[in-house]
Chain A
């Protein structure tokens, strides 16, 4: 069998083929065969400690735990033979003999997974007697009660805490009958570093971790819904009643009249919305007002004279226009067209995920078009929904139907794909989610997919002597993983890690290669981009290797690609540079003649075109990016002025400037009035001119735009 080829096996007499590495449990689930389990949860790494999922593999001496045993070619599996059922019953009996039946969960909601399983196997009185000795309770926490006696050591809480939430608070302690879970160094839960996220409680299959009272959340305003009401809705019917009860108030129903605004672009929030009925319009007001953003533009005769003189005198050589994006990515299952940034969403659509999960500002304004009913939910509920495979499949389907096409078109390299191929791809790509900090692919691993980022930010780093080095941050419409797929060895050349909640479209290696075969021009362009990236990485490595890191690090200059440096021995502080900058940018300067000093040089407060542009991380509408053909950071017209980039820039080089825009008057619906909006601005190296305006205008030859390497050459 060739490596990477599908694995064929037979389960309960039915043949199936799965990807290498798939477990028997998942292969059976694919066939619709349910295998009972206690310790296994779909979103957690399988550990196989409860053994309840035990199955019989033909010609194997012992039974195998389906959740951890990988499928093998030609394997014949039986999931429900008498022997298997007997083994499972015995296991359940053993577990029940050490379980305080009915446990707190069973008493409260009747859904203790162990006791339910016991009932399924008709275990009434365990053959092995019953241990009455308590292993203790921990009621130190205000909202989670811990009953160690009810714990079956399935480790689901440990994995929930560490893998899902990355809190690493819960672990194992003790031996034999005293074995149990512990918080930090076996301290009471309230005294531990537990953040009270409730993930352990939700993960626990028994009554070992239960809710003491409702979590103190700041619920959204609206009609509160009970667990029973929610479970009647399609999207919540597979969710645990315990969880919904526990999070009462975290989901509310809200009704909006036509024209009413549901959320406004730039606002901060912490909720996502699911449309139950009705229709909403998603729009961006800011770009439509951009034509009037120019400040200090003289009007009348002076303006005419200026235009005329510019026309006659200016030999400005405008920089080549950036590849003009056609769509604006927003926090919903649709993209907005740049020329007309308006779209509609309807029943079954979810929006506001990024705001909810990562607390980014709202990326667009959403208003009801007709009477609309939405569910507004907090993060813990949304995360539970995302774990629900049926709901995820529904979102995936909607995404494939509505947004995949435009998403692919927003990636410049793929905009020549034929409609046929996109249709074919639609059924084969996978929408994958990654938690913050999760490694998506690791340097040196076998490359198996290409990823197109849909939501969130991905850090690309490379192992380097002395530690990892960040090469770049990627966000939509970027993609990654192509270098490994194009390279001869087929291994990843860098490590990609999600910075926040990342959603990406995964194109498998075989589809990727098929695409390259059918569209050779894409292969050429991909190869060019990959080559450019590799060269940039090599240059960066060389820079770090040849320059004294102390000098760079001491002032954060290691990240810079281009510094605005003022020779203070030459500078007469005439501020001509500041005036020139203002003149080149409609009256608003992007340069402050102050900043870090290095010997006789002043590194002015002006964009450094960082190698590691932190400012780009988090932009809710992806309006800040690097110029595709050069190194400067540009802020696109559709910036909504949320100020996140300005806060992110460690050097204070991004500012928000007010401008007037004609917007709808909230007090008089249907009327418009001039309002002040803000947009972020940063040095764009005067890209409409042959060189930066400040440098060109300096009469004393004191100002230079210079690479850090050259600068340090001078300074030394």
Chain B
């Protein structure tokens, strides 16, 4: 979520509550005979309020499972999740008096710390990653379709090179028909809409086309495999540009269009690869945040039951 002016109310509200909690906590610590304790009335109050806020923050996951329930807009829940979740941390610290306590509470505090840090990391990533994706991946598509689109790109490139150099004698499994990346773009000069290419017309064979064929089979085609991730030359835009420039020098003008098409295809492939990478960054932190949050809530509940019962 992008943190902007619309969060001002939440930030001020949380700061006011934090200030009030601090105003209660400081005299409480000063006057407590045995130091602050989670079992005291004030400590327990901090604990209850803090845990309640944690539960609210955790309820976001449940809320997302029932998106049509009219129990508040998605934005309300997300803002609440961020700011109340953040607020719960100092309250829980007040509850424990800034001490780790026994083994269970120590684990709880460590978990809580990781959850908070991963959450903050997530918020930070959400500030940056969508913008990066917007600028770096103009041909962005639906994430789940990336692999099949890469297969499409490879199939088209095979056809293109075969039309220029003769049969490639490689296995080309039929690519699933998917919507192509990008949809359509406006105000982005030089980055036109990515559309499936028409079947190319065969070109007259030339002796130099062997160069293109070799470069395609050794450098370009492996890069267009959705399962292969590392390829030094094509991955680096500068090195890729050099390769294509060399190809243009070596090949007759008749084949320059083919080279340009391949260059554009590789650029699209690179963008889709970037999209995948950015997507992993954008959502990867959730692999830590969500399970640990669940564990935190579970252990927190156990801690509450044990503490109140015994």
Residues of A bordering B, CB below 8 Å: 309-310, 313-316, 554-555, 568-574, 576, 579-580, 583-584, 592-600, 602, 605, 686, 689-690, 693, 696-701
Contact = CB atoms under 8 A, between A and B. Distances in A.
Contact of A313 (B1, B70, B134): B70
Interface string B105-130: 00000000000000000000010011
A606 to B, nearest CB: 12
B75 A700 contact: yes
A594 B182 CA distance: 7
A595 B184 contact: yes
A599 to B, nearest CB: 6
B129 A572 contact: yes
A597 B183 contact: yes
B138 to A, nearest CB: 8
Interface string B24-64: 00000000000000000000000000000000000010001
Contacts of A596: 183-186
A598 B75 CA distance: 24
A569 B2 contact: yes
Query: Of A309, A314, A570, A597, which is in contact with the most chain B CB atoms at under 10 Å from its CB?
Result: A597
A478 B129 CA distance: 50
A217 to B, nearest CB: 34
Given A576-B74, A594-B142, A697-B74, A583 B1 contact: no
10 contacts: A314-B68, A570-B2, A576-B64, A594-B141, A594-B179, A596-B186, A605-B183, A697-B73, A700-B74, A700-B78
A568 B133 contact: yes
A597 B71 CA distance: 32
Nearest to A551: B186
Contacts of A572: 1, 126, 129-130, 282-283
Nearest to A571: B130
A315 B71 CA distance: 8
A690 B70 contact: yes
Given A569-B130, A572-B282, A699-B75, 11 more contacts: A310-B69, A313-B71, A314-B70, A316-B70, A576-B64, A594-B142, A597-B184, A693-B67, A699-B1, A699-B64, A700-B74
A700 B143 CA distance: 18
Contact of A693 (B64, B68, B141, B185): B68
B77 interface: yes
Contacts of A579: 64, 67
A565 B63 CA distance: 23
B67 A576 contact: yes
B194 to A, nearest CB: 11
Nearest to B126: A572
Interface string B62-99: 00101111110111011000000000000000000000
Nearest to B75: A701
A554 B70 CA distance: 38
Closest 4 CB pairs of A and B: A580-B67, A699-B78, A697-B67, A699-B74
B66, B182, B188, B279 pick with most chain A CB within 10 angstroms: B66
B183 A594 contact: yes
Given A580-B67, A690-B70, A569 B131 contact: yes
B70 A309 contact: no
A701 B1 contact: yes
A449 B2 CA distance: 59
Contacts of B249: none
A696 B74 contact: yes
B65 to A, nearest CB: 9
B134 A699 contact: no
Contact of A699 (B70, B77, B130): B77
B183 A595 contact: yes
Nearest to A599: B187
B74 A698 contact: yes
A310 B71 CA distance: 11
A182 B179 CA distance: 50
A600 B179 CA distance: 20
Interface string B137-159: 01001110000000000000000
B6 interface: yes
Contacts of A599: 186-187
Given A597-B185, A597-B186, A570 B1 contact: yes
Contacts of A571: 130
Given A572-B282, A698-B75, A600 B67 contact: no
B87 to A, nearest CB: 18
Contacts of B71: 313
B73 A696 contact: yes
Nearest to B185: A597
Contacts of A569: 2, 130-131, 134
B66 A568 contact: no
A576 B141 CA distance: 16
Given A555-B186, A594-B141, A314 B69 contact: yes
Contacts of A696: 67-68, 70, 73-74
A598 B187 contact: yes
A579 B6 CA distance: 25
A225 B209 CA distance: 64
Given A595-B184, A599-B186, A700-B78, A689 B70 contact: yes
Nearest to A595: B183
B130 A568 contact: yes
Contacts of B182: 597
B2 A583 contact: no
A695 to B, nearest CB: 8
A14 to B, nearest CB: 70
Contact of B282 (A573, A595, A597, A693): A573
Interface in B154-180: 179
B67 to A, nearest CB: 4
Nearest to A581: B67
Contacts of A602: 183
A580 B64 CA distance: 9
Contacts of B179: 592, 594
A683 to B, nearest CB: 15
Contacts of A316: 70
Contacts of B187: 598-599
Contacts of A314: 68-70
Nearest to B129: A572
A584 B66 CA distance: 10
Contacts of B131: 569
Contact of B68 (A570, A574, A597, A689): A689
A583 B133 CA distance: 28
A602 to B, nearest CB: 7
Contacts of B68: 314, 580, 583-584, 686, 689, 693, 696-697
B142 A593 contact: yes
A583 B69 CA distance: 10
A313 B185 contact: no
Contacts of B185: 596-597
A580 B65 CA distance: 9
B67, B70, B141, most chain A CB atoms within 10 A: B67
Contacts of A309: 66, 69
Contacts of B70: 313-316, 689-690, 696
Given A597-B184, A697-B74, A573 B143 contact: yes
A601 to B, nearest CB: 10
Nearest to B179: A594
Contacts of B283: 572-574
A316 B282 CA distance: 33
Nearest to A579: B67
A361 B226 CA distance: 42
A568 B134 contact: yes
Contacts of B143: 573
Contacts of B64: 576, 579, 697, 699
Given A569-B2, A572-B282, A697-B68, A554 B186 contact: yes
A313 B184 contact: no
Nearest to B144: A575
B6 A701 contact: yes
Nearest to B82: A699
A305 to B, nearest CB: 10
